[in-house]
Structure 1
Amino acid sequence: MTAPTATVRAALRADLAEVADIYGHYALHSVATFDEAPRPLAEWELKFDEIAGRGLPFLVAEEAGRIVGFAYAAPWRPKPAYRDTVEDTVYLAPDSTGRGLGAALLDALLTACGAAGVRQVVAVITDPGSEASAALHRRLGFTDAGRLTAVGRKHGRLLDTVLLQLAL
């Protein structure tokens, strides 16, 4: 792994087309997300506005003028009692993995979550299929909180999700 050369910063609406492209790759070609098709830009704009409206972080990693990754925190569940708990999301451009960018994004996201008053961060990770994501979260202090067995089906496979949790 080499040191990341990207700058992690707050996302802008202008970044969302590149965010959508990164996510679309994973929707079509992996089990990292249970979405089976890319999300349209309009859906990303709504998500961006919702996250900003809640005072939660949405970050991007930019390198040489290109968005090479993104991370955001969204409400864990819609009920008011969950107000201090979020679910994190981190994705990297397929050609930008293995260089520490995921750790840089997740670390910055956790710092921003703490500043926003978040108390618990939950990661929902596909298993098998997202081992690097699980390892990244564990390296940054997340601990196992549970497993949901055979809750997803994608690319002809039944998939589990592993729940990891971090108290801030």
Structure 2
Amino acid sequence: MTNKIVAVPKGSGMYRWMMMNIGTVEIKGMDVVTDHSFVLPADVIVNLRAAYTYQLAQDFTTRKNPELQKITYGGQIPYIPWHSGSIISGILYKSWRLNYSFIYVGERYHNSANIPENYEQPWYTTDLSASKEIQLKKCRFKISGEVNNVLDQDYEVVLNYPMPKRNYKLILSIEL
């Protein structure tokens, strides 16, 4: 592939992004996804989805600077992890729903120079939610509660942009 465009943050905040044109990129990998639904006694429905991705996304751009060429040629392109995956499950019983989500993003670099200074730690997060739907005459109410980042992990999706620790949401929606 030629002229692979990637967006990366520039500086210490998320307000400035830089578009990088990586001249020559070779991407090899695989995606594996499985999706199952089960009906249990008492009309309980269980959904389970698991996904895994392996990507070797290498920068093979020829550069004029020999020192830069030496440290970037063949490196994994910015923010593309070698391994990532998720498990998402849900249990539905009448008007109740319980959901679980686990997302994993493996090690990666924030620059084509795959050197220790550009290394980004793997991260994962676990989320839980529960909801109940209520029908009153012509109105449908849905009340939901979420706990995101249940394990209170420190992580950054992109460099210098820490994600929230454990956080909670309570949502009420009304459909007329």
Structure (1 or 2) with the larger CA radius of gyration: 2
User: Highest relative contact order (Cα 8 Å, sep 6+), 1 or 2?
Assistant: 1
TM-score > 0.5, shorter chain as reference: no
Structure with the bigger percentage of helix: 1
Q: Normalising by structure 2, what TM-score?
A: 0.28
Structure with the bigger percentage of strand: 2
Q: Normalising by structure 1, what TM-score?
A: 0.29
